[in-house]
Structure 1
Amino acid sequence: MPAKRPNILFLMADQMTASRLPVYGHPLVKTPHLSRLAAEGVVFDSAYCNSPLCAPSRFTLMAGQLPSRIGGYDNAADFPADTPTFAHYLRDAGYLTALSGKMHFCGPDQLHGFEERLTTDIYPADYGWFVDWERFDERPTYYHNMSSVTQAGPCVRSNQLDFDDEVTFRARRFLYDYARNGESRPFCLTVSLTHPHDPYTIPREYWDRYEHDAIDMPRVPYSRELMDPHSRRLRHVYQLDEDTVSDAQIRNARHAYYGAISYVDDRLGEVLTTLRECGLEEDTIIVFSGDHGDMLGERGLWYKMSWFEDSARVPMIVHAPQRFAPRRVAESVSTMDLLPTFAELANDGVAPDYAAPLDGRSLLPHLTGGGGHDEVIGEYLGEGAIAPLLMIRRGRYKFVHSAPDPDQLFDLEADPRELTNLAETPEHLDRCRAFRDEIARRWDYARLHEAVLASQRRRQLVARALMKGKVTPWDHQPMVDASTQYMRNTIDLDDLERRARFPVVDIEGA
């Protein structure tokens, strides 16, 4: 590995399911920039999130620890300020750490190790989106409903477009400033877009990149026979009855989602162009991934919140052709593995002394072709559940356990669409028993269940109380010092224009 410590550019897309990308075999979706990264990089064919919901997935990714270890249960869970993140480790190692975009931090700390946060977040930082397992039938208004599907189609503008355009601009501005300001530290810049997350709407430019009649419909359409108890609860949560959506609305939603993927590719392409223009590409390791997927109507399900492949599997690409030869990795890994990977990349390939136990494992053995682990551990503790929903993916098998429900076992090599639950078949009874024994060793299930309920009760009270009287928001408010940004009478015009221009003009050689 070269002696110079590399920059790290971490690109994220929200709710980006791996199966819709051409790098994973989709024949229709267009992503030239991501496809270039994949062709020149290391592609992980079996990468997963560790909790298929925005905030807990991101907390786990940032901390390298499972939700149960850090209390990151749902989209209103507090992310403790004393939890070390990859931003803390890299900053401690001498990196300039910056975030442009979404990370869905909940709680008063809105930086979590980032030295600079270039935008606000698109989602609230308080506990208002709490989950209540003890009152399952009392559905809060902030839960997903089906309006994203029934109203799917083109738009001129949206809240998410406003956000992602700003995220892209701020990220590019960061790279320009880094190049022209003479910063000596390597950087770790996280650029996190909120597309292609629903609502399923996108400008006509991106809608028109796809022929509507060519949009593929779900490979596994809804049927009552496929509805396990958790799937039925999810359909209840987002108010989906058998006659709620039509085939036309399903096709519209998928069409808009594909357009949103192309929008993401264009925005990330702009960031990559800026990286190249600034002469930073060769010294930068580029990582692309996401927080979870989207069912997009498969099995009659939408959004995320389950352990089925389209919900839990995410893209993962590492682009550093001067360091890692292009290849594909078949073993199962997870976004929780990114913290130890980033920490080792910043430390000449050596693991630092971690301040807290990690559940993630470094991807460097995979990146260098030296083998590596083949296992993903997952926990889902959010809306739609009534008890912890635990998952183990190892080798060709995926095992899902929740105490109130029948177990699920899928052979993903023989049955990639997860149509046949093998948990009760005689030839797999020993395998299921071994998985159950492993779950009993890994988790104190009853204690975890009670810890989630206790957290829900506390946050419900705090959320109610803090909305009464004077409200003090926790949301990050980015500040820009305009007095030094453009021309002011405290700055010499020639000095300002010289330091703002990149590359610097060689006056003597002119």
Structure 2
Amino acid sequence: MRHLKNFVSVLALCLMATSVEAASPNVLFIAVDDLRVELNCYGQKHVLSPNIDKLASEGTLFERAYCQQTVCNPSRASLLTGLRPDTLRVWDLPTHFRMNRPDTVTLPQLFKNSGYHAQCVGKIFHNWVQEDWKGDEASWSVPSVLHYANHYHDTPKIDGPLPPSSASGENGIECRDVPDDAYYDGRVAEVAIDALDKISREEKPFFLAVGFWKPHTPFNAPKKYWDLYDRDEIPVPEHVTPPTDVPEVALTSARYKGGPDSEYLRELHHGHLAAITYLDAQVGKVLAKLDETGLRNNTIVVFWSDHGLHLGEHGLTRKTTAFELDAGVPMIIATPEHTAGQRTDALVELLDLYPTLADLCGLDAPEDLEGVSLRPVLENPKADVKEVALTQTPRPNYLKGKLPELMGYSIRTDRYRYTEWRDFQSGEAQARELYDHQTDPLEMTNLAGRDEHAKLLNKLGKQLDETLE
């Protein structure tokens, strides 16, 4: 009888373990590159993004999510480690986070170490140029694919002669009548679908990261996506000059020198919208496959962009600023257990995704994470988890392994964006910016030099110090 009881106990434990493993939610982790907050679900009705819009209707859309630094590598390294760029000492494109933090447990690595199958298709970590740093092998159960490449090497690959481009070709803008898989993102979607098909049949829960390359330049989506837009009807920015009283350090060398009526500006935005809709179609293919597997009801889907982008606004044409347009990002979290179709204006940061996913999946996250779990916001969209969101960017923009001379630290509060450009060694502020989003949402007038805002600047400066502590 004793042996029988022992057998029953062991059997019960085995069944319990199997049940826990079966109940562990999967994670589909979708990353995109350079997508600013310009999607139909965010109110930009000129954008054709039906698949991402549908995902938003099934989850929680974050109206005010912000990246930690406005360029790919530091932003992605921060999100995937849950640590700020200053903690990682990663502020440029070449530096791999393991050069300074070799034992850091990344977000996918935590899932892998917890019994998940962790797989990367496309660009998740930055595509470092060093041959020795292709992704991060320790993070994945199998080697990454379609991860390492150069954006400007994304030229069409088809059988037979290449169709001519009907775009100008300036800065890589091209419009060719080619299939989706002629470019990286079409192939990323295909490989991700194959991966989902395979891992959905396995007993392990999965963390599948799918990284799309668009809408990063070059704007070279297949012609059918260009054809969905009437160029004459595409909105273009009217404010194509720097803000009033802005310090020069706040700007970059990537300047737009034309006016708001420039044909090039209109073509630039046309190509950008085509790239977004092309991206959206690939996201839709992957989500449709997830539905087909029957695992949607046990899968958390996360959609995020690493930073924003300027396309003529402020007279700029790239990123690496501390303006709202570069700092703000789209972010959507859809879980099986939270209300669908929620929207929240809570201030959140990309590095909050690490503790959030660990929390939702019941994993023991590292104690040194610098973000917070967003579970309270998922449960109540009116909840707040922090008073400010912090974004930074160094000067010079591209350090190539050197220390910054200045660092722009920018906090977004409920009403204001406040930025200090600090000497990186002494910490002393060399220039300041203040934008009132209640009256100036486009950030066209820097109020920092005005006497009537002296008390407010002092308050926000202390708030910035507290955030950096």
Q: TM-score range by the shorter chain?
A: 0.7 to 0.9
Q: Which amino acid aligns with 1:320?
A: T
The residue aligned with 2:136 is 110
Q: Which deviates further from its counterpart, 253-262 or 414-423? A: 414-423
Q: Which amino acid aligns with 1:416?
A: P
In structure 1, how many angstroms separate the alpha carbons of the residues matched to 2:109 and 2:371? 16
SS at the partner of 1:61? helix
Aligned equivalent of 2:87, options 69, 79, 87: 69
The residue aligned with 2:147 is 121
- Is the CA contact (8 Å cut-off) linking 2:178 and 2:223 kept in structure 1? no
The residue aligned with 1:407 is 432
Structure 1 pair 47/112, CA: closer, same or farther in 2 (3 Å)?
farther
Q: Which amino acid aligns with 2:58?
A: E
- Is the CA contact (8 Å cut-off) linking 1:148 and 1:199 kept in structure 2? no
In structure 2, how many angstroms separate the alpha carbons of the residues matched to 1:23 and 1:76? 34
Structure 1 pair 320/295, CA: closer, same or farther in 2 (3 Å)?
same
Q: Which amino acid aligns with 2:360?
A: L
- Is the CA contact (8 Å cut-off) linking 2:215 and 2:279 kept in structure 1? yes
The answer as to 2:345 corresponding to 1:330 is yes
Q: Which deviates further from its counterpart, 263-272 or 198-207? A: 198-207
1:117 is displaced (CA, Å) by 3.6
The residue aligned with 1:379 is 392
Structure 1 pair 11/92, CA: closer, same or farther in 2 (3 Å)?
same
Aligned equivalent of 2:97, options 66, 76, 79: 79
- Is the CA contact (8 Å cut-off) linking 1:53 and 1:382 kept in structure 2? no
Query: For residues 474-502 of structure 1, what are the alpha-carbon distances to aligned partners after superposition, in whole Å with 9 as ceiling and x for unaligned?
Result: xxxxxxxxxxxxxxxxxxxxxxxxxxxxx
In structure 2, how many angstroms separate the alpha carbons of the residues matched to 1:280 and 1:386? 49
1:336 is displaced (CA, Å) by 0.7
- Is the CA contact (8 Å cut-off) linking 1:40 and 1:321 kept in structure 2? no
The answer as to 2:232 corresponding to 1:213 is yes
Structure 1 pair 53/353, CA: closer, same or farther in 2 (3 Å)?
closer
Q: Which amino acid aligns with 2:147?
A: D
1:422 is displaced (CA, Å) by 2.3
Aligned equivalent of 1:358, options 369, 376, 391: 369
The answer as to 2:451 corresponding to 1:426 is yes
Superposed CA RMSD: 2.8
Q: Which amino acid aligns with 1:368?
A: E
In structure 2, how many angstroms separate the alpha carbons of the residues matched to 1:165 and 1:121? 14
The answer as to 2:60 corresponding to 1:35 is no
Aligned equivalent of 1:46, options 64, 69, 94: 64
Structure 1 pair 287/340, CA: closer, same or farther in 2 (3 Å)?
same
Aligned equivalent of 2:75, options 31, 46, 57: 57
In structure 2, how many angstroms separate the alpha carbons of the residues matched to 1:76 and 1:281? 37
Q: Which deviates further from its counterpart, 427-436 or 291-300? A: 427-436
SS at the partner of 2:63? strand
Structure 1 pair 62/241, CA: closer, same or farther in 2 (3 Å)?
closer
Q: Which deviates further from its counterpart, 286-295 or 409-418? A: 409-418
The residue aligned with 2:257 is 242
Residue correspondences, number: 411
TM-score w.r.t. length of structure 2? 0.81
In structure 1, how many angstroms separate the alpha carbons of the residues matched to 2:288 and 2:464? 46
Unaligned runs of 5+ in 1: 125-146, 445-510
Structure 1 pair 263/290, CA: closer, same or farther in 2 (3 Å)?
same
SS at the partner of 1:401? strand
In structure 2, how many angstroms separate the alpha carbons of the residues matched to 1:148 and 1:245? 20
The residue aligned with 1:466 is none
Q: Which amino acid aligns with 2:374?
A: L
In structure 1, how many angstroms separate the alpha carbons of the residues matched to 2:277 and 2:354? 28
Structure with larger RCO (C-alpha < 8 A, sep 6+): 1
Structure 1 pair 110/68, CA: closer, same or farther in 2 (3 Å)?
same
Structure 1 pair 353/50, CA: closer, same or farther in 2 (3 Å)?
closer
Q: Which deviates further from its counterpart, 416-425 or 194-203? A: 416-425
Aligned equivalent of 1:198, options 201, 212, 217: 217
1:160 is displaced (CA, Å) by 9.8
TM-score w.r.t. length of structure 1? 0.75
1:487-498 matches, within 5 Å, as none
Structure 1 pair 428/310, CA: closer, same or farther in 2 (3 Å)?
same
Structure 1 pair 117/369, CA: closer, same or farther in 2 (3 Å)?
farther
In structure 1, how many angstroms separate the alpha carbons of the residues matched to 2:437 and 2:243? 22
SS at the partner of 1:399? strand
In structure 1, how many angstroms separate the alpha carbons of the residues matched to 2:114 and 2:369? 18
- Is the CA contact (8 Å cut-off) linking 2:239 and 2:260 kept in structure 1? no
Query: For residues 96-137 of structure 1, what are the alpha-carbon distances to aligned partners after superposition, in whole Å with 9 as ceiling and x for unaligned?
Result: 11111112154636324121244142447xxxxxxxxxxxxx
Unaligned runs of 5+ in 2: 1-18, 151-167, 398-403, 424-429
Q: Which amino acid aligns with 2:369?
A: L
Structure 1 pair 157/300, CA: closer, same or farther in 2 (3 Å)?
farther
SS at the partner of 1:76? coil
Q: Which amino acid aligns with 1:185?
A: K
The answer as to 2:306 corresponding to 1:295 is no
SS at the partner of 2:344? strand
SS at the partner of 2:76? helix
Query: For residues 48-91 of structure 1, what are the alpha-carbon distances to aligned partners after superposition, in whole Å with 9 as ceiling and x for unaligned?
Result: 11101001100011011101101211111122142221112212
1:319 is displaced (CA, Å) by 1.5
SS at the partner of 2:221? strand
Q: Which amino acid aligns with 2:349?
A: S
Q: Which amino acid aligns with 1:78?
A: H
In structure 2, how many angstroms separate the alpha carbons of the residues matched to 1:40 and 1:65? 29
Overall identity of the aligned pairs, in %: 30
